[in-house]
Structure formats: structure tokens, C-alpha cells
Amino acid sequence: MLRLKATMQPWEAEVTGADQTRMAKRADELGYDMIAVPEHFAIPREHVELSGPHYLQSTVAQAYLAGATSRIRLNSCITVLPLQHPLVLAKSLATADWMSSGRMMVTFGVGWLQREFELLGVPFHERGRIADEYLAAIIELWTSENPRFDGRYVTFEDIAVEPKPIQKPYLPVWIGGDADGALRRAAKYATGWWSFLTPPEQLAERIEFIKSQPEYDGRDFDVVHGMATRRVGEAHTVREDPDARSGMSAQEMVDRLCWLGEQGVTVSAVPLPAVSGVDEYLEYAQWVIEEIKTKVP
């Protein structure tokens, strides 16, 4: 769904919406757990070489993929929270959750691309504070019959907002990012953390940081670390990592996933080897289910 220089293969630039619909349907049939949609609104020209130009609006794409499938859960990776008004975003996500019979999730991040914030008139250096307020407002909109909020960036009262999410108390919220602020946000609001730049050897320590926060109440908590994530550096730079290489054997991947599980990871994805197109990709996707997923506790 995106064209990062660090991970992209040539054939991916030709993938169409119809192709992605077929891939999503097959993932649903095979027993994959989740599809995650990345998001940016605009990529400055100087970032295109590393980041690629192709990004979907996450909630729209999630809703479409939910309609094309019947079982699999739809997440984002990530939804840039400070760039979207909480009333609109809360309505969009709740609508998709209601229409999909409760299969929506969302991973919120504060964003990193300053020019994108400038284009949308959002103060980049206030994005953490904006995100905290927006997230609190979204939860109020999802859970209260008479939602009311009085903040610096958003205020509302005397309104009715439906539909509410099907999932209760609301659809799963994960937080993406590696800074202490993101982890504190996860401890306060979320049921999951999506790591990007944290080295795998530091995951257990960072998970302990989350769970040591006074706002963490012992709730069930997912931790996501994709194996190929280590090939993507800050600002989408390319880096080498032997534990993220393509072409690993089944046993190597099983061993690595089990090790990640010991660090506290509950959700992961394996690197994609060189393939020629969508059909070969789907063959590999079936192989992963048969040879990898069945052997990972």
C-alpha cells in the first residue's frame, strides 16, 4: 500500500485497487488476523525518493476493505491524529465499525513530516498536545450519550453523535511511535503499541515503561513489531539488518518470531522475499500461513 525505498519491489508500483481488493479477500480466506493501512496526505517532493508518493487515507481504505471482506480486522499504520478534526475522525471510524459489525481498529500517531502539517495549517511543534486532546475528545464522542468537551484545540457540548462503535467501550486504539510521549499516551489510552524505530533488544524495556505508568490499569495490551521494520530508518531512510532480510528460511522466521514473543511482541509480520507480482505474492502469503503461523505459539 506504500512505496518505501527500503522495502519496495518493482512490481508493487503497478498494483491496482482491484489487485489490493483481491489480496485482501485472499488474506481473509487464509486466516490472516489484520490488514493495516498507512497514511499521509501529501509527501513533499524532497521526500518522495525514500517515502514514495502513494498513500491512502487510512479510514476510507479500511472501510472499503471491511466491505470487501467478512472476518479480518482492519487497522491503520498509522492514522495521523493531529491532522484530522476529532469530531470528523470519530464519526468516520465509528461509522466504519458499525457498518463492518465491529472489525475496525486504529493506530494513532502524531506524525513526523513537518511540511505536511504546514500544508494543513496545524502547528507541528504542538502535535503531541493536540493528539492527547483529540484522543480524549474522540473517546468522549464514542462513549458518552451527551458528549461534552472543553479544551484548547476542540470544544463541543449539547450534541448527539451516532452511530457509536459496535465494539465496547470502543474500537481498539493502538499508539504508534517510539518517544516517551507516545508510550505514555499508549499507557493512558490504548490497548496496543506499534513500535517502529525501537531496536528489538529494547522492546521488553519499553513495554515495561508503558506498564509502569500510573495510567496503565493492567488491561490486555498488544505490542506490534514487524520483522521488516528494521529495514526502515528515521524519515524512511534505508538501513540493513540481518534479522529483517528477505529470503529467510521458515525455521529462521519461526525462531525469530518466537524470540520476539519472548520480548513481549504479540503481533508481527514476516519479510517478503523477491516475488514477480500479485499471484506469486499470494502464493507466498499462503506459504506463510501453512509454514510459519501454525508453528508460532
Using CA atoms, how far residue 56 sits from 63, 76, 289, in Å, is 12, 10, 27
Q: Do residues 230 and 240 touch, judged by C-beta distance below 8 A? A: no
For the domain spanning 10-244, the CATH number is 3.20.20.30
Q: Which of 87, 23, 102, 96 is nearest to 64 (CA)?
A: 96
pLDDT in tens, the chain (297 residues): 789 999 999 999 999 999 999 999 999 999 999 999 999 999 999 999 999 999 999 999 999 999 999 999 999 999 999 999 999 999 999 999 999 999 999 999 999 999 999 999 999 999 999 999 999 999 999 999 999 999 999 999 999 999 999 999 999 999 999 999 999 999 999 999 999 999 999 999 999 999 999 999 999 999 999 998 888 999 999 988 777 777 789 999 999 999 999 999 999 999 999 999 999 999 999 999 999 999 998
The per-residue pLDDT for 70 is 98
78 and 39 in contact (C-beta within 8 Å)?
A: yes
Q: pLDDT tens digits for 28-66?
A: 999 999 999 999 999 999 999 999 999 999 999 999 999
**In this predicted model, what pLDDT tens digit does every residue of 5-32 receive, in sequence order?**
999 999 999 999 999 999 999 999 999 9
- Integer CA distances (angstroms), 199 to 195, 230, 237, in order: 9, 8, 15
Phi and psi angles of residue 78, each rounded to the nearest 5 degrees, phi first: -130, 170
Classified as helix, coil or strand, 249 is: coil
First-residue to last-residue Cα distance in the chain: 28
